[in-house]
Structure 1
Amino acid sequence: MKRQIAEKSGRNAELRAAAWLRLKGWSILASRVKTPVGEIDLIAKRGGLVAFVEVKWRRAKSDLDTAIDERRLGRVAAAVECVAHEYATRGEDIRIDVILLAPGSLPRHIANAWQP
C-alpha cells in the first residue's frame, strides 16, 4: 500500500513539474521515458536546449535538501545517454535538471544539476 501511495505522489509531482515548466516557456516532449538502465521523469525543450528532468517529491520541505544525490543523478545520466539522440536531433544543447517539490512551497528548479 505504501508503494502505491508513493507511486501516486510521484506521478502527481511529475504533472505539477510539467505544468510549472510549461508556465516557464518549456515544451514537454515526453514523460516517464523508460530505458534499459532507468527512467527519465520528464524531457522538456525550450529554444535550443533539451532538459532531461528528474522530479523529486517530499512530504516536508526540509527533506528536499537530501532528495537527490550523486548516485541518483548518475542513474539519470546513464538513462539520458540511451535516449538523448532521439530528442536532441538538431544539435540542441542538453542538460540534466532536477525539480524538487513539497507541499506549501514553490517548485525548486536546479538547472544543470549533473556535471560529472
Structure 2
Amino acid sequence: MRQTKEIGQRGERLARAYLRRQGYAILHSNWSCLDGELDIVARRAGSLVFVEVKTRRATNTEAALASINPKKRQRLLNAAYRYLHENGINPENPWRIDVIAIALAADGAATIAHVEDAFDW
C-alpha cells in the first residue's frame, strides 16, 4: 500500500510540473469533499480545469487511462460540481475534467498522456 501511495504522489508531482509547463496555474491539490477528491484544480485561458491523475508502473499509459470506470467518472463530476458550488462559481462558466495518465517504466522514466475534456457527458 505504501508503495502505491508513493507512486500516486510521484505521479501527481509530475502532473503538476507538466501542467505548469503548459501554462496552467495550479489552484489546489488533493481538494476533497464528501463527494470525492479532485487531484488537481487548475486554471488556463479562462477555464477551470479539474484534473484526475492516474499513475501506473507500466511502459505505456493505457492501463492508467482504463482504470477510470463509470463510477469514478461520476464521483469526479459530483466533486467538480461541489467545488463549483462551494467556491461560488457559476457552472455555466467554462470548466472541464481532464485526465493525466502517467506510466512509470522500470528505469524511472515517465510517459505522460494528457486527455483534455476527457469524458463525453
Shorter-chain TM-score category?
Answer: 0.7 to 0.9
TM-score, normalised to structure 1, is 0.87
**Most deviating of 59-68 and 23-32:** 59-68
Q: Look up the match of 1:81.
A: 81
Which one has the bigger helix percentage? 1
Paired residues in the alignment total: 113
Superimposed CA distance per residue, residues 26-56 of structure 1 (whole angstroms, 9 cap, x where no aligned partner) = 0000000011111100001012111000000
Tell me, what secondary structure is at the counterpart of 1:81? helix
Distance change in 2, residues 1:87/1:111 (3 Å): farther
Q: CA contact under 8 A between 2:98 and 2:117: conserved in structure 1?
A: yes
Q: How does 1:27-106 map to 2 (within 5 A)?
A: 27-60=25-58, 61=60, 62-85=62-85, 86=87, 88=89, 92-103=93-104, 104-106=109-111
Distance change in 2, residues 1:75/1:42 (3 Å): same
Q: State the distance in 2 between where 1:93 and 1:5 align.
A: 37
| Percent identity for Structure 1 against Structure 2 | 32
TM-score, normalised to structure 2, is 0.84
Q: 1:110 aligns with which of 107, 110, 115?
A: 115
**Most deviating of 63-72 and 16-25:** 63-72
1:96 alignment partner AA: I
Report the aligned-residue RMSD.
1.8
Which runs of no fewer than 5 residues in structure 2 stay unpaired?
none
Which runs of no fewer than 5 residues in structure 1 stay unpaired?
none
Displacement, 1:73? 1.4
Q: How does 1:3-18 map to 2 (within 5 A)?
A: 3-18=1-16
Q: State the distance in 2 between where 1:109 and 1:12 align.
A: 16
Displacement, 1:12? 1.1
